[in-house]
Amino acid sequence: MEEVYTGDTPKEEIDIILLTHGRLHDLTIPAVTCLYSHTRSKFHLIVVDDSTPDLPSGVEKVPDTTADWFDKFQIDHNNVSFVHSSIPFKNGNQVFNVGLSHCRNRFAAIVMNSVQVEPDWDVVAVQMMHQNPKIGIIGLKCLKFGWGEKEDGQIECAGIGISPQDGYTPIDLGRNETSHRLAISQPVWSLQWAFVLVRVEAAKGNLDENLWEGFVGFDDIDNTLTLRSKGWEAWYCGLGTGYHRTHATRGSTDTDVIFKNRKNAEIFYKRWGMWDKYKATNPYSIEYFPNGNVKHICNIMDLPLTVVDKNVAKETTNIAEKETANV
């Protein structure tokens, strides 16, 4: 059912939460330029930044000056909120929650500064949000950028599935397909959050900041499943596109990245009822959280991808299980 609007028309139609962490010149400025050139909806830009002068700016031997740049940018652009932290954020959900707290519209795009959007990326996704109030999140098509001539422009991610044949590892759907493929909209099992449109009502209060270790994976996949477990739908929209430099926003120099990733993986699999299946295919994995220390949410594979109206006598097709069976 399409939403009916009442009351005053908001000044903008969407918020755009832009996450920045150094690399002003080679990531942030191009990302901002594309957003202002290629976004059809009126928007409020929320920049959530924890850059410091010691971070690389994208120009050799020049310290990062992100805060100064946005101070000047705001003089000519009255739709910008700049939120700066001098202390590095601990994980993605903390950054997302800061951005969501400054939203003033019903829909918010989350865009890493490593993404350069293509023209009219927002049009169909915003329309989907208006027409289907059950949608809580939409993932846009991410194309590879910075991979070299042979791979640039290929699909990086068109939604996320799970592969029993590969040890229940999350997989990027559509990966390495040519850019024009998957120009469709469909419900998906999960999404990465480098480039998404969320319904603010669905995301606020549902992104746990205390579960995850750093910026090393599984948190965005978990966020999508959390929204689904609360009755929201997750969709992919292949008619909105951006080029993404993978891991560029927060390329980690930690020596224990793999350790943190494994801990996040265990939390993720236990929360969604897949730990036993994961262990069966990875019998030598270390268990960091024994004795029920991770709260089980539900068996995510039992949830349908689309929400069935209780007043409509029809079954919902679980596309995720079909995709999994065909991987």
Q: Indicate the domain borders of the chain.
A: 14-246
Low-confidence residues of the chain: pLDDT under 50: 1-9, 253, 311-327
Give the residue carrying structure tokens 């759907």. 173
Sign of the dihedral defined by the CA atoms of residues 281, 284, 285, 291, in that order: positive
What does the alpha-carbon distance between residue 142 and residue 272 come to, in Å, rounded to a whole number? 26
Helices (H), the chain: 29-38, 66-76, 92-101, 123-131, 200-203, 219-229, 257-271, 275-281, 319-326
Question: What tokens appear for 177 in the block?
Answer: 């397909």
Q: Check if CATH label 3.30.360.10 holds for domain 14-246.
A: no
Question: What tokens appear for 96 in the block?
Answer: 């997302």
Give the residue carrying structure tokens 């006598």. 313
pLDDT of amino acid 53: 84
CA 8 from centroid of its chain's CA atoms: 30
Residue positions counted in the chain: 327
Task: Answer yes or no: are the C-beta atoms of 25 and 59 closer than 8 Å.
Answer: yes
Q: Single out the residue of 240, 238, 248 nearest to residue 215, CA to CA.
A: 248
pLDDT of amino acid 16: 98
pLDDT of amino acid 155: 92
Task: Answer yes or no: are the C-beta atoms of 32 and 125 closer than 8 Å.
Answer: no
Which amino acid does the sequence have at 74?
Answer: Q
Q: What pTM does this model have?
A: 0.88
